Amino acid sequence: MVTPEYWQGKRVLVTGGAGFLGSNLCHALAGMGARVTALDAMVPDGGASTRNLEGAGVLLVR
């Protein structure tokens, strides 16, 4: 298992980052010190929302 210290300062790209699973992964990684970029197509009715990433300090790319 990877320790939280492993993620300190690492750059991470999460695809589908504005959806339920992706946004939770973004929050977790950012909380461990990773520099997170979330990539999401923001498909209508797909469940993705910018609100899912509020407060995470994550860069969202659409």
**Structural domain spans, the chain:** 4-61
For domain 4-61, give the CATH superfamily.
Answer: FAD/NAD(P)-binding domain (3.50.50.60)
pLDDT tens by residue, 2-60 = 899 999 999 999 999 999 999 999 999 999 999 999 999 999 999 999 999 999 999 99
Q: Are 58 and 29 in contact (CB under 8 A)?
A: no
Q: What is the pLDDT of residue 2?
A: 87
| 49/17 Cα distance (integer angstroms) | 9
> Which helix (DSSP H) or strand (DSSP E) does residue 41 occupy?
none
Cα within 13 Å of Cα(10), Cβ side? 16
Q: What is the pLDDT of residue 7?
A: 97
| 36/39 Cα distance (integer angstroms) | 10
What residues are paired with 5 via a beta bridge?
none
Local structure of 12: helix, strand or coil: strand
